Amino acid sequence: ITQLQVIDKEWLTPHLVRLTFTGADGASLADFPVGEFTDTYVKVELPPRGVDLGWPYDGEVVREQRPAHEWPVLRSYTIRSFDPSAGVLALEFVVHGDDGVAGPWARDVEPGGPTSRIQVRGPGGGYAPDPEADHHVFVGDASALPAIAVALERLPLGVSADVVIAVENSADEIPLPSAADVNITWQVVAKDTDIADALAEAVTSRELPTSD
């Protein structure tokens, strides 16, 4: 378990906020073992809203001594960036009102504030773009944006990619830089629409190259 503290906060869109962390209470992140995977993630551990578990706390002790509705919850988030020399990492959170635990926390947290320290487990990961492939296809909703963004940044010159991302409206679109030749489709999906069906239709309706 690694203890982190929010030191910076940036709203990228009305529904996506980037939080930058350093080690809590002056701890160094220089040796945090982020590998080469573009989907490297941590499991963020957060108390339920309104529950004060103190700091630091032991999740196992909490589960032994407190009722289940006060147990911390785990949510997986892709590491958007990590700078070992500066000892900082960034995570991006999708925020939709009061839905969930992590989204409202990320919306409300203030750098250095009383709720700015969290615990994370990991990191883990298992995917990076195949360097031998000529073409790549990335598909996801807004919660997949960090992993897709990191993968696109990793693609070299000379390859291409199709990207289809479902968002609530055009204000949720963000720049996705890449050295590759990238064709991005932002699929605006109404709240009452099945995102998986909308993404599947968007992908199957386009003509993909026959290369590897």
pLDDT, mean of residues 186-196: 84
CA distances from 104 to 16, 96, 108, 141, 164 (A): 11, 8, 6, 19, 26
16-46 pLDDT, tens digit each? 999 999 999 989 999 999 989 999 999 999 9
64-81 pLDDT, tens digit each? 999 999 999 999 999 999
Task: Tell me the sheet residues that pair with 6.
Answer: 21
CA–CA separation, 165 and 202 (whole Å): 9
Q: What are phi and psi of 42, to 5 degrees?
A: -125, 155
**Does 189 score more than 90 pLDDT?**
no
Helix (H, G, I), strand (E, B) or coil at 126: coil
CA–CA separation, 142 and 95 (whole Å): 10
